[in-house]
């Protein structure tokens, strides 16, 4: 790496309403005046009253190690605390061991409540926002591979498979609107695309699927015959 090539910079975000500060680092070759930081506290303020935030460039650095060390020096600066939004002194951000444990406990508690009360993980509003942001987007090969690995990991674990079943249609009924959509005939183009995709699949996967269903006792059509 060229020693004069910029790696990132140290910045200070100021809350003009109460005088609080936030020291952070940003990996970038140019200063971004619209970036105020990754702290959830700063993001909350940005969503509610962005006009009260101001960011100032402190200094440039030319390596990851140098940038991280400088952030620690600045967050440990005398007189900064307690007028600071930083979660901890020094280091890379505020993602400490305590923060990780606290977040994981919150996630586990939410999962438990969803399973016990048979409630969805996301609200209807959140689901609509996710749909809107993902509409028209295509997954790259890396994302597809990650999704396949995640699904494989779930189905290889019986406990995980049983837990995930509670979030599906097990014991639930489709809405009347959904049933009407499902009954509508599919366009010829969609059917042809499905046939092409089906022909490309490995025939052994159908055998494995049928064997798994027979082993688990879920081959209902076979029993009816």
> What is the C-alpha separation between 165 and 115, in angstroms, rounded?
10
Q: What is the pLDDT of residue 16?
A: 92
At residue 168, the pLDDT reads 61
Instruction: Flag whether the pTM goes above 0.95.
Output: no
143 pLDDT more than 90: no
Average pLDDT, the chain: 76
Query: Above 50 in pLDDT, residue 224?
Result: no
pLDDT by residue (tens digit) across 6-45? Answer: 999 999 999 999 888 898 999 999 999 999 998 888 988 9
Q: What is the pLDDT of residues 54-103, one digit of tens each?
A: 999 999 999 988 888 888 888 877 456 667 887 766 555 555 555 667 77
Any idea which residue has 């969609």 for tokens? 190
3-class DSSP state of 80? coil
Write the CB contacts of 93 (distance below 8 Å, at least 6 apart in sequence). 24, 38, 39, 87
């Amino acid at each position: 790496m060229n020693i004069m090539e910029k790696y990132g910079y140290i910045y200070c975000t100021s809350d003009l309403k109460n005088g609080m500060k936030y020291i952070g680092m940003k990996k970038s070759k140019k200063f971004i005046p619209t970036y105020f930081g990754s702290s959830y506290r700063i993001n909350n303020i940005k969503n509610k009253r962005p006009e009260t935030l101001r960011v100032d460039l402190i200094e440039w650095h030319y390596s990851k190690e140098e940038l991280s060390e400088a952030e620690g020096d600045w967050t440990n600066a005398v007189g900064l605390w307690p007028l600071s939004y930083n979660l901890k002194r020094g280091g890379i951000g505020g993602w400490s061991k305590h923060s990780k444990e606290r977040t994981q406990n919150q996630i586990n508690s939410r999962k438990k409540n969803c399973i016990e009360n048979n409630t969805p993980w996301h609200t209807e509003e959140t689901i609509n926002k996710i749909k809107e942001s993902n509409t028209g987007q295509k997954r790259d090969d890396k994302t597809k591979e990650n999704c396949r690995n995640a699904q494989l990991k779930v189905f290889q674990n019986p406990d995980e498979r049983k837990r995930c079943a509670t979030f599906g249609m097990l014991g639930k009924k489709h809405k009347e609107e959904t049933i009407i959509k499902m009954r509508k005939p599919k366009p010829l183009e969609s059917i042809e695309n499905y046939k092409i995709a089906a022909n490309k699949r490995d025939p052994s996967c159908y055998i494995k699927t049928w064997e798994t269903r027979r082993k688990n006792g879920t081959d209902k059509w076979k029993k009816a015959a």
